[in-house]
Amino acid sequence: MTLLRTGRWLATGLLVLLAGLPLGAAAQEQLIRKAVAEKFPNAKVESVTRTQFPGLLEMVVDGTVFYTDEKFSFVVDGSLIETKTWSNITQARRDAIEAKLQGPIAFRDLPLAQAVKTVKGNGRRVIATFEDPNCGFCRQFHGQLAKLNDVTIYTFLYPIIAPPDSVEKSRAVWCAKDRARAWDEVMTTGKIAPAAANCKAPIDEVLKLGQKFNVKSTPTIFLSDGTRLRGALPVEQLEQAIATAAKSPRK
């Protein structure tokens, strides 16, 4: 039984191990490592850090995010939601950990001719996304993208959620006279007129591309420096990420 398959069991085990330990700040990480090693010899404590929320610590064990208090009287296995923007702090950390493991890509290696191109304003900033027309998070993300200015968005139609419907909708978007408008239509209404039977779209090519770059969920975003992001990010977070990427050499 692997640790990644037993996250809740690990949380329960750590709860028993760590409850009530009177720890000083300097010894916290060392004692956690020792406790985990005794119960789970093959587990790796990757980090113990304070969160932005008073009294709450984040612990990453074998790539899995947990939370505890300063006295280690409890361990939480679940999502932390910040209510001001209603953003999922835990999911963002999971995405960052996964992206770090997978590593960035070379943006120039993306076959942009196989993506739906949407230009907003002067279009000088660029991002690429992998999205499914039946993806609820993609629809949320579409609303955030609508708030961006001066950006070119390359959308790779990546129908992995509900084939064959996702495939047919993707093909209809690609075969539309105005692809950007068709994509906006399907993202805002969920509906689109079917494509002609003889119209071909690079669906198989994009699916192979996603497999090559280990794209496992939608939306997945690639910035100009090759950084990978995931999920329906709020526009403020996306803007900050785009600005940071713009300062890095494009890969």
pLDDT value at residue 56: 87
SS3 138: helix
Average pLDDT of the residues in 78-87 = 84
Cβ(201)–Cβ(195) under 8 Å?
yes
Same domain, 116 and 223: yes
Same domain, 211 and 131: yes
In angstroms, rounded to a whole number, what is the distance separating the alpha carbons of residues 27 and 31? 6
In angstroms, rounded to a whole number, what is the distance separating the alpha carbons of residues 89 and 95? 10
Same domain, 130 and 219: yes
pLDDT value at residue 230: 84
89 lies in some domain: no
Same domain, 12 and 63: yes
85 lies in some domain: no
pLDDT value at residue 76: 87
Same domain, 67 and 136: no
Same domain, 51 and 124: no
Q: Does residue 28 or residue 220 have the better pLDDT?
A: 220
86 lies in some domain: no
Boundary residue ending a domain (54, 78, 102): 78
pLDDT in tens, 187-243: 999 999 999 999 999 999 999 999 999 888 899 999 999 988 888 889 998 999 999
207 lies in some domain: yes
In angstroms, rounded to a whole number, what is the distance separating the alpha carbons of residues 133 and 206? 14
Same domain, 74 and 162: no
94 lies in some domain: no
231 lies in some domain: yes
Number of structural domains in the chain = 2
Instruction: Tell which residue, 154, 152, 173, 122, has the closest CA to residue 220.
Output: 154
Q: Tell whether omega for the bond before 164 is within 30 degrees of 0, i.e. cis.
A: yes
pLDDT in tens, 131-184: 999 999 999 999 999 999 999 999 999 999 998 999 999 999 999 999 999 999
- Is the overall model pTM greater than 0.75, yes or no? no
Confidence of residue 4 (pLDDT cuts 50, 70, 90): very low
102 lies in some domain: no
Domain span holding position 24: 4-78
Run of H or E including 228: strand 228-230
Same domain, 121 and 242: yes
In angstroms, rounded to a whole number, what is the distance separating the alpha carbons of residues 32 and 37? 8
pLDDT value at residue 82: 85
Among the listed ranges 32-46, 73-87, 112-126, 176-190, which one has the minimum average pLDDT value? 32-46
SS3 8: helix
230 lies in some domain: yes
In angstroms, rounded to a whole number, what is the distance separating the alpha carbons of residues 240 and 238? 5
Same domain, 116 and 71: no
In angstroms, rounded to a whole number, what is the distance separating the alpha carbons of residues 127 and 230? 13
Percent of the chain whose pLDDT exceeds 70: 83
Confidence of residue 22 (pLDDT cuts 50, 70, 90): very low
pLDDT value at residue 134: 95
Same domain, 64 and 119: no
Same domain, 70 and 177: no
Q: Does residue 93 or residue 165 have the better pLDDT?
A: 165
Same domain, 218 and 129: yes
pLDDT value at residue 135: 94
Domain of residue 172, CATH code: 3.40.30.10
